């Protein structure tokens, strides 16, 4: 059973509030979808996720197909049983990961936003490790596993078969996610291929049968005419709802989403893929999106970033080490009610991080990619950049950057620190 009902609409924007009914419960919209990439939300049990108010979790088709395998998840009774999550679930198509961990990095990388630094400026190590892992043709994508280099092929039909095995309530059609820097002609070509793949996804989904709701994905990059064309084509297909994918300029994301929302059927839900910064969610809601997913919360948390009413707080800063105030005065959440900034900045964490960094330096003759795989080699660069910026930081973090990344810090991490 799948149903969507709009309960309220804004009089001065495209915002609306509603309810999505699924076989495993309801999602009150607008809603943020918690990301559990590999059928687990990092550092949290399903019970903890539920206690925080999350109503729906999204898992990743690409990663679960590679490990532990969709057939194993099916044998366990599907994702709900496998990860002990009783509520609604989504799975993405695997398209973004195939391209972001494969060939698309060779064209500046797949990212949700065009940022101020040059995405084409990558270390030789990264270019050698990531570029050319995937090849696109009309049938689908041939790619190598980022884990062990084994060869795989993903098509619209195969994506549907994997997602049916995983058993989430809401699944997504297979699409091509392009780099934000790809030229107009290629954005158009990829969009049209996404439309053909959408039809094939829909046909295979209907052939397989079952209670799952399939969402089609709108592409088109940052171009108004392509976005509007894609929303009309995808909106005209028999999907239960729609995903808005691709890349945006952060400053005009709301405008781009509005182009799409105005052309999609009003009575079906719209999901904004990979968007999760607070200001972006607000812009998305005003532009007619109903649900959102992003790894931002867990990524920020593991890097020591906390969101407060006064902006971002870096709990690793020296100023927090002796601060007995809560994160947010007057906040009623469990953490603010029970723990001080000083406790959360406990120095026990520092020596452990330094120990891990020294262990990396003790590994001879191997690259970060060979040790950690992808995307953890990229996460290491971001983390080392962050820790090196902390007041009084051990020089070991800078040494890791020098050893594995030619001394080049992660530009996006520095941008986020500068804005916090």
Neighbour-count burial for 250-266, b at 16+ CB within 10 Å, e otherwise: eeebbebbbbbbebbee
Summarised one tens digit per residue, pLDDT across range 257-289 is 999 999 999 999 999 998 888 889 999 999 999
What whole-number distance in Å separates Cα of residue 131 and Cα of residue 392?
37
Q: Which of 83, 108, 95, 180 is nearest to 143 (CA)?
A: 95
Look at residue 32 and tell me whether its pLDDT is greater than 80: yes
For residues 322 and 268, state if they share a domain.
no
**Residue ranges of the alpha helices (H) in 101-213?**
124-130, 156-166, 184-208
Residue 126 has pLDDT above 90, yes or no: no
Determine the Cα–Cα distance for residues 201 and 373; give it in Å rounded to an integer.
30
Mean pLDDT of the 207-221 span: 96
Query: What mean pLDDT is reported for the chain?
Result: 87
**Is position 92 annotated as part of the catalytic site?**
yes
Single out the catalytic residue among 70, 169, 290, 293: 293
Last residue of a domain, one of 263, 295, 327: 295
Name the band, by pLDDT with cuts 50, 70 and 90, for residue 318.
Answer: confident
Residues 175 and 315 in one domain: no
Indicate if 323 and 270 belong to the same structural domain: no
Residue-wise pLDDT for 234-251, tens only, equals 999 999 999 998 777 777
Instruction: Give me the pLDDT at residue 289, please.
Output: 97
pLDDT at 359 over 60: yes
Separation of alpha carbons 319 and 368, rounded Å = 32
Q: Which run of H or E residues covers position 73?
A: helix 70-75
Please tell me the predicted confidence (pLDDT) of residue 103. 43
Which of 13-27, 337-351, 363-377, 396-410 holds the top average pLDDT? 13-27
* CATH classification at residue 377: 1.25.40.380
User: 291 and 305 share a domain?
Assistant: no
Domain-terminating residue out of 278, 295, 312: 295
205 and 118 belong to one structural domain: yes
Question: Is 410 part of the annotated catalytic residue set?
Answer: no
> Which two structure tokens, joined as six digits, stand for 309?
């009413």
Q: What is the mean pLDDT of residues 102-120?
A: 42
Model confidence at 420, pLDDT cuts 50, 70, 90, reads low
Residue among 92, 175, 280, 290 flagged as catalytic: 92
Task: Check whether 137 has a pLDDT greater than 70.
Answer: yes
Task: Tell me how far apart the alpha carbons of residues 104 and 111 are, in angstroms, rounded to a whole number.
Answer: 10
Supply 399's token pair.
């040494």
The pair of structure tokens assigned to 414 is 């520095």
Please give the average per-residue pLDDT across 370-391, as a whole number.
Answer: 85
On the question of pLDDT at 115 being above 70, the answer is no
By the 8 A CB rule, do 181 and 221 touch?
Answer: no
Helices (H) and strands (E) in the chain, counts: 19, 16
Domain count, the chain: 2
Q: Are the CB atoms for 386 and 413 separated by under 8 Å? A: yes
Same domain, 16 and 161: yes
On whether the CB atoms of residues 171 and 163 are closer than 8 A, the answer is: yes
- Indicate whether 208 pLDDT > 80: yes
356, 272: one domain:
no
pLDDT of residue 107: 37
Which residues are CB-neighbours of 89 under 8 A, at least 6 positions away? 24, 56, 57, 58, 59, 79, 80, 167, 168, 169, 170
Q: State the pLDDT at residue 121.
A: 42
Find out whether 370 and 128 touch, Cβ atoms under 8 Å.
no
Q: What percent of the chain has pLDDT over 90?
A: 57
Half-sphere exposure of 144 (CA within 13 A, CB side): 14
Q: Are residues 222 and 365 in the same domain?
A: no
CATH of the domain at 234: 3.20.20.105
Pair 243, 218: CB distance under 8 Å: yes
Nearest residue to 217 (alpha-carbon basis) of 281, 296, 282, 271: 271
| Residue 376: pLDDT band with limits 50, 70, 90 | confident
Query: For 54-83, what is each residue's pLDDT tens digit?
Result: 999 999 999 999 999 999 999 999 999 999
| Domain limits for position 370 | 301-419
Question: Is pLDDT larger for residue 406 or for residue 98?
Answer: 406
The 8-class DSSP code of residue 248 comes to B
Residues 146 and 183 in one domain: yes
- Return the residue matching tokens 């940022």: 115
Report whether pLDDT(354) > 90.
no
Strand partners, 142: 135, 153
What pTM, to 2 d.p., does this model score? 0.80
The residue among 250, 251, 177 whose CA lies nearest residue 220 is 177
Name the residue with higher pLDDT: 344 or 54: 54
Closest CA to 291 of 267, 316, 272, 317: 272
Does residue 276 sit in the same domain as residue 391? no
Same domain, 356 and 385: yes
Residues 284 and 196 in one domain: yes
Last residue in a domain, options 269, 295, 321: 295
d(CA 160, CA 334): 40
More confident residue, 86 or 254: 86
Q: How far is CA 27 from the centre of its chain?
A: 19
């Amino acid at each position: 059973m799948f149903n969507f009902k709009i309960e309220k609409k804004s009089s001065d924007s495209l915002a609306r509030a509603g309810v999505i009914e699924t076989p495993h419960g309801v999602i009150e919209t607008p809603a943020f979808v918690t990301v559990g990439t590999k059928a687990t939300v990092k550092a949290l049990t399903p019970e903890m996720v539920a206690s925080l108010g999350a109503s729906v979790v999204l898992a990743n088709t690409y990663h679960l197909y590679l490990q532990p395998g969709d057939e194993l998840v099916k044998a366990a009774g599907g994702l709900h049983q496998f990860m002990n999550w009783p509520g609604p679930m989504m799975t993405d198509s695997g398209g973004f990961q195939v391209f972001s961990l494969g060939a698309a990095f060779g064209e500046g990388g797949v990212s949700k936003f065009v940022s101020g630094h040059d995405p084409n400026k990558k270390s030789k190590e990264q270019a050698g490790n990531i570029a050319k892992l995937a090849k696109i043709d009309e049938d689908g994508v041939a790619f190598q596993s980022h884990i062990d280099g084994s060869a795989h092929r993903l098509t619209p039909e195969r994506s549907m078969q994997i997602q049916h095995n995983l058993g989430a309530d809401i699944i997504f059609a297979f699409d091509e996610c392009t780099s934000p820097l790809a030229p107009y002609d290629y954005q158009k070509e990829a969009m049209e291929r996404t439309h053909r793949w959408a039809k094939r996804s829909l046909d295979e989904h209907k052939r397989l049968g079952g209670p799952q709701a399939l969402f089609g994905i709108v592409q088109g990059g940052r171009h108004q005419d392509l976005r509007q064309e894609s929303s009309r084509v995808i909106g005209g297909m028999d999907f239960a709802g729609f995903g808005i994918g691709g890349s945006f300029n952060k400053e005009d994301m709301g405008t781009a989403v509005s182009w799409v929302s105005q052309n999609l059927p009003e009575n079906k839900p719209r999901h904004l893929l990979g968007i999760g910064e607070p200001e972006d969610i607000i812009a998305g809601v005003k532009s007619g999106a109903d649900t959102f997913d992003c790894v931002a919360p867990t990524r920020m948390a593991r890097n020591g970033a906390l969101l407060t009413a006064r902006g971002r707080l870096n709990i690793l800063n020296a100023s927090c080490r002796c601060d007995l105030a809560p994160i947010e005065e007057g906040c009623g959440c469990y953490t603010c009610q029970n723990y001080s900034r000083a406790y959360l900045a406990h120095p026990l964490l520092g020596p452990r991080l330094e120990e891990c960094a020294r262990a990396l330096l003790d590994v001879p003759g191997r690259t970060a990619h060979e040790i950690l795989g992808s995307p953890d080699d990229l996460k290491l660069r971001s983390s080392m950049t962050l820790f090196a910026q902390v007041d009084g930081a051990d020089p070991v973090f800078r040494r890791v950057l020098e050893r594995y990344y030619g001394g080049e810090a992660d530009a996006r991490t520095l941008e986020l620190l500068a804005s916090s």
